[in-house]
């Protein structure tokens, strides 16, 4: 099963050739070894920076034994060209965390160390400034400015310094975790004897750097895009021997390709190459932890990713069992909605058959029905079934987003520089269920956004960035047509007929467009709950309370049929189902239990209702 197919054979041959070349120790007089030596007398070419050296790290002296920069030739040449200018030779690297900005900086330092850089950069020293250590010396703003200015002046007097400032955005604006040192940067960015090299991210650039024209105009911005998969594969091929040596194991070629494939599919919140390198590293740690001499293969990659994300990665035997027994699991939590649960389970099985190849969300559903019939409870049950716990559900009440002015609150705004509530929630919880309550009340422009999500598996936030939704089960609920459902059931209309007539009704009344409804994997209709059903649901809730109270507090709770019927009679309304049931039970039973627990008299006691 580990044989290499014809398609990859040439890549594997090239891998072994590169590995062999890198593993051969070349004599000191070889061209490669001589070129790796720094120029003679490089330390005698400029002034000293004794104070600055205490607050910085010289990158041109920290060369890793085995590190090759892959796929960034254009960016390196652009940076070298900017730093070689006679004035305002300052560069700002703009890229997401994990795209390889640090690797580019280290590659530039290496080229200077080896003397393979342009003549204008020869003998330069690249110093990474520890800004936090400098700021920690003083809390007074003016004194902080003076300290930084003195250090920069020392670098300017030396005449051969390139200062590297990480997270530049933190030091050119006021606010929480920020300090505005614009005046210092503006002064020394104009110097012909000092070069500045800074880093930031696209979001921070738009929010802090770009608006500050005093400094942004003094830097040439170089965008560092995410790497392509071919370059990432070359990086993994390059570092695999190091991982094998470190962890004393073997990495199979198929593991590298599978790492890239699943990282691209499931780790969309991280950029290449970071996510591929981290996943491969974690896979090596996993194999090593098994305390067996093993190999990292595609199966190991899947196992580690499954543990990392808690998302369904492939149709494993466990997932197949979940799908085949899904109706039984849902029935334990949602009562008297047999047709809805049967339809939902069938649609979920159909969606998951194509797991890993879909470019849409894992599955998507519209739950239609009156209030209090089990729509939200079903969403919770589905979340627990596929993602192990209810906390993996993101929930939004769409009635709060009825105007166009509410849309930036959800997806973010480049004008206010504030991230969106929905975008942040999804990026923080990439794998789970997205529940959109009362979707029909949302502004129609938001409906159009979700149309793209259902069709393409992503949407674009207020900053123009993709928000990936392909690892979510999306469930929208709606009370639209509740009166139609209620009257139809009263007239004896069958559930199958109601399914079609309700959809026709919603389209004809303009509640939903047909193209929107057609994007869902299933439109599931919930029936109204009548009094007999509410009694059974109340009995289920009470049994859960009795069991929980006995286990937690050692208290026995007894509830008579008369008491139970009185609670149901008090709160029953066929148009609101079981919505108020939990509240009534809390007021009637749980409040009394709470008082006994707080009084310390619960254990061994029997409460009868």
Q: What pLDDT, on a 0 to 100 scale, did the predictor assign at position 527? A: 92
pLDDT interval class at 174 (50, 70, 90): very high
pLDDT interval class at 416 (50, 70, 90): confident
Q: What pLDDT, on a 0 to 100 scale, did the predictor assign at position 463? A: 87
pLDDT interval class at 62 (50, 70, 90): confident
Q: Do both 494 and 580 map to the same domain?
A: no
Q: Do both 264 and 333 map to the same domain?
A: no
Please tell me the least confidently modeled range out of 232-246, 306-320, 325-339, 501-515. Answer: 306-320
Q: What pLDDT, on a 0 to 100 scale, did the predictor assign at position 577? A: 77
Supply 195's token pair. Answer: 């070069």
pLDDT interval class at 1 (50, 70, 90): very low
DSSP string, 240-259: HHHHHHHHT-EE-HHHHHHH
Question: Mean of the pLDDT values across residues 422-444?
Answer: 95
Q: Is residue 151 part of a domain?
A: yes
Q: Is residue 431 part of a domain?
A: yes
415 is in which domain, residue-wise?
317-525
Look at residues 507, 525, 543 and tell me which one is the last residue of a structural domain.
Answer: 525
Decide if pLDDT at 86 tops 60.
Answer: yes
Q: Do both 167 and 238 map to the same domain?
A: no
Please tell me the least confidently modeled range out of 61-75, 296-310, 454-468. Answer: 61-75
Decide if pLDDT at 517 tops 60.
Answer: yes
Decide if pLDDT at 74 tops 90.
Answer: yes
- Between the alpha carbon of residue 176 and those of residues 97, 179, 182, 183, the distances in Å are 20, 8, 16, 19
Burial class of residue 523, CB neighbours in 10 A (0-12, 13-18, 19+) = buried
Q: Is residue 14 part of a domain?
A: no
Q: Is residue 15 part of a domain?
A: no
Nearest-CA neighbor of 144 among 190, 179, 194, 191?
A: 179
CB 170 within 8 A of CB 135: no
Supply 342's token pair. Answer: 């049967």
Burial class of residue 262, CB neighbours in 10 A (0-12, 13-18, 19+) = buried
Q: Is residue 266 part of a domain?
A: yes
Q: Do both 535 and 521 map to the same domain?
A: no
Q: Is residue 153 part of a domain?
A: yes
pLDDT interval class at 24 (50, 70, 90): low
Look at residues 197, 223, 249 and tell me which one is the last residue of a structural domain.
Answer: 223
Q: What pLDDT, on a 0 to 100 scale, did the predictor assign at position 406? A: 95
Q: Do both 503 and 546 map to the same domain?
A: no
Nearest-CA neighbor of 471 among 308, 296, 249?
A: 308
Q: Is residue 25 part of a domain?
A: no
Q: Do both 492 and 563 map to the same domain?
A: no
Q: Do both 346 and 291 map to the same domain?
A: no
Q: Which residues of 161-171 are buried (b: 16+ CB within 10 A; e: fewer)?
A: bbbbbbbbbbb
Decide if pLDDT at 119 tops 70.
Answer: yes
> Hey, which bits of 99-208 come out as E strands?
125-129, 161-165, 172-175, 178-180, 194-200
Decide if pLDDT at 75 tops 90.
Answer: yes
Q: Do both 247 and 139 map to the same domain?
A: no
Those residues with Cβ within 8 angstroms of residue 514's Cβ, 6 or more apart along the chain or in another chain: 507
Tokens 């920020």 sit at which residue? 178
Per DSSP, what are the bridge partners of residue 557? 607
Tokens 């199958």 sit at which residue? 496
What share of the chain has pLDDT > 90, as a percent? 70
Look at residues 506, 525, 544 and tell me which one is the last residue of a structural domain.
Answer: 525
pLDDT tens for each residue of 527-578: 998 888 888 988 988 998 899 999 999 999 999 999 999 988 887 777 777 8
Those residues with Cβ within 8 angstroms of residue 317's Cβ, 6 or more apart along the chain or in another chain: none
Return the number of other C-beta atoms located less than 10 Å from residue 381's C-beta.
21
Q: How many Å apart are CA 50 and CA 55, to the nearest integer?
A: 10
Domain CATH number, residue 482: 3.40.50.300
Question: Mean of the pLDDT values across residues 120-149?
Answer: 97
pLDDT interval class at 114 (50, 70, 90): confident
Q: Do both 274 and 337 map to the same domain?
A: no
Domain CATH number, residue 553: 1.10.8.60
Q: Is residue 492 part of a domain?
A: yes
Q: Do both 208 and 356 map to the same domain?
A: no
Tokens 């000092």 sit at which residue? 194
Number of structural domains (the chain) is: 4
DSSP string, 52-117: HHHTEEEGGG---SS----S-HHHHHHHHHHHTSSS---EEEE--TTSSHHHHHHHHHHHHHHT-S
Q: Do both 276 and 344 map to the same domain?
A: no
Tokens 């061209």 sit at which residue? 31
pLDDT tens for each residue of 176-226: 889 999 999 999 999 999 999 999 999 999 999 999 999 999 999 999 999
Check residue 555 and report its DSSP letter: -
CB 378 within 8 A of CB 343: no
Burial class of residue 136, CB neighbours in 10 A (0-12, 13-18, 19+) = exposed
Q: Do both 467 and 512 map to the same domain?
A: yes
Decide if pLDDT at 251 tops 60.
Answer: yes
Q: Which residues of 327-345 are buried (b: 16+ CB within 10 A; e: fewer)?
A: bebbbebbbbbebbbebbb
Per DSSP, what are the bridge partners of residue 93? 199, 222
Decide if pLDDT at 117 tops 60.
Answer: yes
CB 431 within 8 A of CB 387: yes
Decide if pLDDT at 34 tops 80.
Answer: no
């Amino acid at each position: 099963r580990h044989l290499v197919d014809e398609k990859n054979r040439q890549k594997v041959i090239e891998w072994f050739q590169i590995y062999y070349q890198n593993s051969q120790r070349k004599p000191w007089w070889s061209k490669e070894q001589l070129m790796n030596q720094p120029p003679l007398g490089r330390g005698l070419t400029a002034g000293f920076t004794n104070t600055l050296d205490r607050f910085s790290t010289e990158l041109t002296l920290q060369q890793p034994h085995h590190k090759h920069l892959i796929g960034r030739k254009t960016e390196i040449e652009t940076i070298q060209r900017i730093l070689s200018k006679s004035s305002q030779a300052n560069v700002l690297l703009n890229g997401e965390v994990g795209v390889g900005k640090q690797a580019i900086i280290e590659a530039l330092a290496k080229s200077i160390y080896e003397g393979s850089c342009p003549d204008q950069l020869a003998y330069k020293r690249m110093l990474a400034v520890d800004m936090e250590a400098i700021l920690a010396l003083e809390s007074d703003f003016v004194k902080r400015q003076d300290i930084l200015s003195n250090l920069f002046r020392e670098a300017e007097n030396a005449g051969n310094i390139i200062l590297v400032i990480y997270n530049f955005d933190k030091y050119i604006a006021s606010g929480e975790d920020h300090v505005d040192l614009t005046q210092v940067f503006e002064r020394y960015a104009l110097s012909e004897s000092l070069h500045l090299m800074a880093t930031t991210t696209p979001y921070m650039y738009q929010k802090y750097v770009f608006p500050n024209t005093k400094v942004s105009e003094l830097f040439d911005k170089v965008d560092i895009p995410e790497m392509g998969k071919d370059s990432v594969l070359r990086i993994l091929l390059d570092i695999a021997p190091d991982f094998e040596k470190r962890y004393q194991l073997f990495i199979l070629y198929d593991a590298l390709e599978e790492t890239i494939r699943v990282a691209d599919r499931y780790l969309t919140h991280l950029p290449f190459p970071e996510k591929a390198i981290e996943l491969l590293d974690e896979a090596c740690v996993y194999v090593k932890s098994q305390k067996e001499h093993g190999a990292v293969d595609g199966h190991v990659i899947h196992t580690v990713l499954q543990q990392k994300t808690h998302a369904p990665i492939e149709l494993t035997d466990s997932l197949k069992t979940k799908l085949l027994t899904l109706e039984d699991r849902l029935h334990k939590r949602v009562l008297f909605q047999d047709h809805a649960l049967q339809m939902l389970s069938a649609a979920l099985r159909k969606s998951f058959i194509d797991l890993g190849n879909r470019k849409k969300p894992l599955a998507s559903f519209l739950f239609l029905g009156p209030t209090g019939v089990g729509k939200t409870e079903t969403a919770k049950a589905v979340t627990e079934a596929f993602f192990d716990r209810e906390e993996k559900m993101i929930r939004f009440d769409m009635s709060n987003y009825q105007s166009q002015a509410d849309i930036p609150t959800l997806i973010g705004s480049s004008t206010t520089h504030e991230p969106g509530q929905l975008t942040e929630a999804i990026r923080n919880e990439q794998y789970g269920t997205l529940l959109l309550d009362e979707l029909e009340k949302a502004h129609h422009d938001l409906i159009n956004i979700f149309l793209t999500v259902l069709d393409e598996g992503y949407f674009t936030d207020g900053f123009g960035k993709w928000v990936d939704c392909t690892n979510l089960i999306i469930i929208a609920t709606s009370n639209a047509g509740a009166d139609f459902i209620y009257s139809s059931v009263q007239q004896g209309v069958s559930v199958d007929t109601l399914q079609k007539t309700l959809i026709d009704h919603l389209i004809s009344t303009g509640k939903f467009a047909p193209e929107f409804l057609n994007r869902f994997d299933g439109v599931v209709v919930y029936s109204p709950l009548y009094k007999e059903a509410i009694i059974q649901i109340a009995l289920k809730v009470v049994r859960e309370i009795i069991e929980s109270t006995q286990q937690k507090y050692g208290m026995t709770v007894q509830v008579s049929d008369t008491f139970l019927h009185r609670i149901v009679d008090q709160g029953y309304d066929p148009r609101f189902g079981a919505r108020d049931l939990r509240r009534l039970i809390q007021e009637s039973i749980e409040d009394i239990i709470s008082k006994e627990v707080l009084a310390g008299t619960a254990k061994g006691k029997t409460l009868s209702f």
